[in-house]
Chains A and B, each alone.
Chain A
Amino acid sequence: MSFFCNFGKSKFSRRSILRNAMSFRTLISIEVTDLPQKALRWFYASPSRFLVCGFVAIIAAGAALLKLPFSVAEGQSLSWLDAWFTSVSAMCVTGLVVVDTGTHFSIFGHWVILTLIQVGGLGFMTMGTLFALFLRRRVSLRERLVLQESLNQQSLEGIVRLVRKVIFYALTIEAAGSLMYTLRFMTEMSFGRALYFGIFHGVSIFNNAGFDLFGDFRSMSDYASDPFMNIVSILLILCGSLGFVVLADLVELPRRRRLTLHSKVVLTMSALLFVGGAAVIFIFEYTNGKTFGRLNFGDQLLAAFLHSATPRSAGVSTLNMYDLRQATQFFIVWLMFIGASPGSTGGGIKTTSFAVLLAAVYAVMRGKPDVVLFRYRLEQGQVYKAIMITFFSLATVVTATMILSVTENAPFMSVLFEATSAFATVGLSMGLTTELSPAGKILIMLLMFIGRIGPYTLSFALSVREDRMLYRYAEGKIIIG
């Protein structure tokens, strides 16, 4: 509730809804003809369908643009399948690439990719936030939008204002990141090129896409010892992965002096995963000659922190994933699976789902009836939802891994890594992406799409439905464990 007040003084507040409801009859006949309202009407009929169709349309447009002859660099060509793959990867802000972004595409191609990343990242962040906000009320989205659309210009404006706020936040952070990168790149290249590189990487990394222009699939490996580059990247990744809801909450913090439960959970889990992940990676890789061996102590710390941040779910790297120890690779698979936070540009099952699972296990172990986080009790429905999303995701990744290990002739770890990376829209790879068979490419594309849209629509579908219980079955017992 308190969270809601942040945005808006209540364009969404209960009082305004009541007022609207009261005037419903008198205003029902007003004709609505303008375009945004038509879009809204379609949106409220089925927001999930809207999301899926919108994404597919933009991906198709992106693939067509990338297929244009002047999208690729001179002397290069791009098959339809690779164009689709790149478009899906950009739109789902994943970063898995079948051709090297820096050398294979022309400037025009780069701009197409950049636009797809921006549209995908922002679009998703906005939609995610809208979904999340609506989910915070007992009233269903459909009812709410029926009210808003037919009666209340103000509410529509509220949504527009929210969208504008999300975009404003994103652009500000991207601009700051781009500026930093540009300053850094100016030391090695011409101003124009530095600015171009700065903007591309600022946008790509904030949106947790992980596309880069450095060439030869190197990602940021040339900058392994550069504290400035690493810290800017880590900050951009983290800002992008916290989600708009938390960012807005943080901005309001000096004024309101308290955080919502959601923000507390997200911030704590993110910090825990970030620091814990860095510690584990540092320990596992400390004696690995191929990765940490060539770095000094400070650089090792930087690399550990960057690779703890990047699986959630950016996909830039300074070390070669293939050279990491198996234990580290497997650990990164789990970090990728957990992913970012809700309403952000990242994927995965989300930090909050993971927190709820931990809290549920803790409650059961202690024999407590309630699942509690920060002295707030979680509704049973939310716990089930977290369980549901986790098992759905696990089942998807496991099935995809199994199919990929039939279609691809590669070590199991590479396949598992690739599938998880695609599902969580991360973009890290042990090198399998470029060697994928056509069937494998199609599967990875589907996985990226499902990974991007799945948890959201699932979460949404699970909350809107209100089931009238006409009867309950008697309680039965089975033996567990």
Chain B
Amino acid sequence: MKVAAKWLTASPPRLLVLGFAFIILVGSQLLRLPAASASGEPMPWLDALFTATSAVCVTGLVVVDTGTHFSLFGQIVILILIQIGGLGFMTMATLFAFVLKRRISLKERLILQEALNQSSIEGIVRLVRRVVLFALVIEAIGALLFTVRFLFDMSPGRAVFFGVFHAVSFFNNAGFDVMGDFRSLTEYVGDPLVNIVTMLLIVTGGIGFIVLSDLADFRKNRRLSLHSKVVLSMTGFLIVFGALVILVFEFTNPNTMGPLSLGEKILSAFMQSVSPRTAGVNTLDIASLRQSTQFFIVLYMFIGASPGSTGGGIKTTTFAALLGAVRAMIRGRQDVTLFKYRLAQERVYKALTVTLLSLALVLAATMILATTEDHHFLMILFEAASAFGTVGLSMGLTLQLSVAGKIIMILMMFIGRLGPLTLGYALGPKKERVLYRHAEGKIIIG
């Protein structure tokens, strides 16, 4: 315990990266076992690594169909990888975030805790336990509801397994499914129960533990933190706005919403608006969507979920900080304000940095994939954004990826999962003594 804490002290991001890499490697070895595949044939090494990375990074991009290719053992391995990846990440992110809420650095804090105060370590343990509890309770409720629904379609044993698998997968925003034939939830496009439960799982998984905990304490505290207000209002806005845009764009598309009734159209619009942030289940065929809708979904995948959650992307708070900065500029205000709170300049810069680096990463990956894969540009952009945001939606390119393409996608999922968090951490309050400042210069902008 103390050794682990000491190592964590030295460099938490390193621990996170190595830990994730280790679990992915173990997972890929397990998936390669003949017992893991339905046919008894061991799967190729690269495909096993791809699947393990996709599961641990809770992405959901698949090179083989999860439902038909894997045996029950293989599916359970994937489920465990998703749970470890999702919970591990949520816990670590929450720890990072809590530490960042203080002026004192993680290193100092942990040195203090380790050297002096047993109860602080207990505090961390308690926090971790609380995260796990929250997650398990929500997953259990989701699993129960799914099981009840699936009982209509299949045997009780199968329904329970389907219920548990999909609840865990969706709460962790992984987007793996065992429906078979890469169908995702397309069979349930008009089913209100499945859709609403799925959306609730995705959203609760995507708003992050801090907000969940804040909401749980709401009755007691009677107020929300700034962070929770920003996350909740951005999430609400993005869901409703996205559903509207998708409804308008797809309303007359005969390949997607065309044949559906109005209620089903609205349901599927909401589902397709929630899913890109960053679950990756779909009830409409993504490849048949209009180009404008696909591009819109790319933007949503890029924005992603909220900090300290199971989802990826640049995060809703980052996006909110950018919008705040733009609004401040338009009004000619000096301060960036959100809900009558001022954001420190360094935070706005941090949001900018996370966004620009993410943009650069997605663009670079798209450009490289455009040379290795022979496909439509939008398909490639969609795939790269999906991997970066650890979403798991695909226009169908994943199955046709070349070897180089698969390796790039594995890297993208890994960087997309760990990048913004470690970046956010590395960019945290660094105490630097400024010995000199340069003179102010001016250049012409725009």
Which A residues are within 8 Å of any B CB, using their own CB?
A: 132, 135-136, 243, 245, 261-262, 265-266, 284, 325-327, 329-331, 334, 342-343, 349-350, 352-353, 355-357, 360-361, 363-365, 367-370, 372-389, 391-392, 398, 401-403, 405-406, 411-413, 415-416, 455-456, 458-459, 462, 465-467, 469, 472-481
Contacts and interface: CB of A to CB of B under 8 A. Distances in A.
Main secondary structure of the interface of B (DSSP, over half): helix
Contacts of A406: 249, 290, 292
B345 A481 contact: no
Given A245-B444, A387-B322, 10 more contacts: A329-B377, A349-B446, A367-B427, A376-B439, A377-B439, A387-B352, A412-B377, A472-B335, A475-B344, A478-B320
A479 B342 contact: no
Contacts of A374: 441
Interface string B137-153: 00000000000000000
Contact of A473 (B100, B320, B341, B352): B341
B353 A365 contact: yes
Interface stretch (B14-22, B61-69, B417-425): B417-425
Contacts of B221: none
Interface in B394-446: 420-421, 423-424, 426-427, 430, 432, 434, 437-446
B430 A367 contact: yes
A405 B179 CA distance: 33
Interface string B201-232: 00000000010000000000000001100110
B440 A462 contact: no
Given A387-B325, A477-B101, A480-B351, A377 B438 contact: yes
Interface residues of B, number: 84
Given A364-B353, A479-B227, A481-B318, A382 B442 contact: yes
A86 B328 CA distance: 37
A60 to B, nearest CB: 26
Contacts, number: 241
Which of B349, B354, B376, B446 gathers the greatest number of chain A CB atoms within 10 Å? B446
Contacts of B427: 364-365, 367, 481
Contacts of A472: 335, 342
A374 B370 CA distance: 36
A400 B258 CA distance: 25
B56 to A, nearest CB: 20
A476 B342 contact: yes
A368 B436 CA distance: 11
A325 B380 CA distance: 14
21 contacts: A136-B442, A327-B368, A330-B367, A331-B367, A355-B443, A381-B334, A382-B443, A383-B349, A401-B295, A406-B292, A411-B376, A412-B291, A455-B446, A473-B335, A477-B227, A478-B320, A478-B321, A479-B101, A479-B308, A480-B307, A481-B307
A381 B325 CA distance: 11
Contacts of A411: 376-378
Nearest to A463: B445
